[in-house]
Structure 1
Amino acid sequence: MQEQIDTLFTWLDETTTIIEQEENTPYIEALIASSNLLFEQQVPEDLEPNYRQKLVDQVNNVQFDQFDKEARRKAMQLAILKGMKGATQQHHYITPDTIGVFIGYLINKFMDDETSYRLFDPAAGSSNLLLTILNQQDHLDVEAFGSEVDPTLIRLAFNNTNLQEREIEFFHQDSLKPILLEPVDVIASDLPVGYYPDDDTASSYELKAEEGEHSFAHHLFIEQSLKYVKEAGYLFFVVPSFLFASEQKDALQSFLKENAHIVGVLELPESMFKDEKFKRSILVLQKKGEATRDPNKVMLAQLPSFKDVEGTNNVIQQIDEWFQNDR
């Protein structure tokens, strides 16, 4: 697997660099073109001959179907990370694989009795989290949806999904505005953290800030997500660990008490974050419905470094026991 990842990343990087230099365009924009070239396997006819020949040679050197899906996803992830390095806005950050794998594990546990379900990520980014989850769900029929406002990220998501030979329906829009989507069974998202600048849109939310202040985007995403999940559906969010200790926390707690069950709060390993203020946790919610109830006990855990195999196995055992006894 690692050899496949290295080979494909090298191809993407070399091809992207050719496009970047020839067209004088940013690396990340060139990556959109090179990843599309990898999928289509066709070079446009209307290029300068020497430039076109370079791309033809690159295309002749690779067949993306030689690489398994996880190798394709990880090679693209590495290329995206290279393109964003040093110039990354906060919303241009990729959910680490370990978090995606763990959320996929949790979804498997909660959806254990299902043969199919609908999945939505309202802050899809380049779709790395969605694809990481889908690559663990091959035993189920999953209908997937993603929404993303950033034009660069949505194009990367589209190409990423093509290379995975997956079907995801994307919405290129501000996810805090109405979405033409029927309610889904599961929502999974690494929530954007910070203030939401559109006060007019925020004004329709229960979790809007007091007058004269911007609302927290991550609060609004939680409220919006609860609109787009079915009764008794589950939501898995990567949230700031200070979520219930920050300003506007009282409104959030009151809103959640009325609309959802807090099922679990799993603190991600401290070693993943350079600064304590960037620490994240996984928040698991269930939307209230006629037949739902609070769990006997909220699933709480401090996750060890994912490199700590014994510690991770202990947490997995605790979670298994929670499903048997406390759900």
Structure 2
Amino acid sequence: MAHEHLEKLYNVLDESTTILHQQLKTSFIAAVIEAGEDLASGNVMQEDGVPNDEAKKKLTALFDQIKLATYEPEEIRQAIQLVLVKAIKVDGIEPNKQVTPDAMASLATFMVTVFAQHLPKKMQVADLAVGTGNLLFGVMNQLHNARQVAVKGYGIDNDETLLAVAGMSSTLQQLDVDLFHQDALDNLLFKDIDVVVSDLPVGYYPVDERAKQFETAAVKGHSYAHHLLIEQSMRVLKPGGLGLFYVPSQVFSSEEAAGLTAWLAKSTYFQGLLNLPEDFFADQKAEKSLLVLQKPSPDVKRAKQILLGQFPDLNDRDAFATFIDKVKDWAAANIA
């Protein structure tokens, strides 16, 4: 029944997006935003006769099928994610802007519960490369559902379209989120964050003068954006806060790895590095790992032995249960 409930919302979003895509003659992802905003407002926006009256009638009939109050935030997020997967194919969206898979939100949430077994009643979670918000919102929802904590979110992105998707999605889910359209390496308007989680974009950061403000900047030429974003993220964490970063699996094999490693050792507690399952990625070069960092504080411990390993296939329940037990044993021996 729950599956049919989610499927109904997805079908309405998909059909309404397709109609708006044709009517507005715009990108599919822009039509996703329009469809979501219309659903949230309960009114089909019509400007200069577009969409036409017939299309508006169809859209109104579609949206009337959905009672948002009957949906959990996670159901809404999942339905939007499925439509975004289609948008990626239709629009040919580049890899750095694609949707972070649900499983990565689940793995990040699990690591939060490992390192913060007694969560505060109110938490602040941020993503400095928020994109469409799928990772941030997934973690927020799962933390709330698992531990009944109130979660405030912060997201930054310099892509106006992706941020508009995030805004529409957070509105439909009724999440407490502040979104900022800016360069994440500029001055930020929030601090004392409990958890930063991010699927970091990979590539060079073009503004060399700004990069020089960071210890992870390259000695010569452009710096790696993902190195700088890790450092910036750790700055906004409160002491003892947790940084969870999806990074290229070869992050410590690059030309700039030495500078990153030196900064990590000096400025953070480098707590873990876990490779994601290989079947997550069609191309070996695209494989990622979860880097686990903690901001130093008298209240937390630097791990005696760094957590290293590989997440098992999530469909192999026995293997995953064994993995969870091993991580809990590691936590008891190293950071408890």
Contact 2:106 2:138 in 1 (8 A): yes
Instruction: Using the TM superposition, name which of 237-246 and 193-202 deviates more.
Output: 193-202
Tell me how far apart the structure 2 counterparts of residues 314 and 20 of structure 1 sit (CA, whole Å): 46
Which residue is 1:109 aligned to? 114
Shift of 1:276: 1.5
Residue of 292, 297, 308 corresponding to 1:289: 297
Tell me how far apart the structure 2 counterparts of residues 26 and 42 of structure 1 sit (CA, whole Å): 21
Which residue is 1:125 aligned to? 131
Shift of 1:223: 0.9
TM-score computed with the length of structure 1 as normaliser: 0.95
Instruction: Using the TM superposition, name which of 313-322 and 107-116 deviates more.
Output: 107-116
1:179 and 2:188 matched: yes
Instruction: Using the TM superposition, name which of 251-260 and 198-207 deviates more.
Output: 198-207
CA RMSD of aligned residues (A): 1.5
Shift of 1:239: 0.8
Question: Aligned letter for 1:317?
Answer: D
Shift of 1:4: 2.0
1:146 and 2:158 matched: no
Contact 2:125 2:140 in 1 (8 A): no
Residue of 90, 96, 103 corresponding to 1:98: 103
Tell me how far apart the structure 1 counterparts of residues 195 and 214 of structure 2 sit (CA, whole Å): 21
Shift of 1:293: 4.1
Shift of 1:135: 1.5
Which residue is 1:22 aligned to? 23
SS at match of 1:245: coil
Question: Aligned letter for 2:157?
Answer: E
Structure 2 unpaired stretches of 5+: none
SS at match of 2:156: strand
Shift of 1:114: 2.6
Structure 1 unpaired stretches of 5+: none
Shift of 1:285: 0.5
Tell me how far apart the structure 1 counterparts of residues 298 and 273 of structure 2 sit (CA, whole Å): 24
Which residue is 2:69 aligned to? 65
Contact 2:10 2:83 in 1 (8 A): yes
Tell me how far apart the structure 2 counterparts of residues 3 and 198 of structure 1 sit (CA, whole Å): 48
Shift of 1:179: 0.9
Tell me how far apart the structure 2 counterparts of residues 283 and 316 of structure 1 sit (CA, whole Å): 17
TM-score computed with the length of structure 2 as normaliser: 0.93
Which residue is 1:52 aligned to? 56
SS at match of 2:123: strand
Tell me how far apart the structure 2 counterparts of residues 225 and 3 of structure 1 sit (CA, whole Å): 39
> How many correspondences in the alignment?
326
SS at match of 2:170: helix
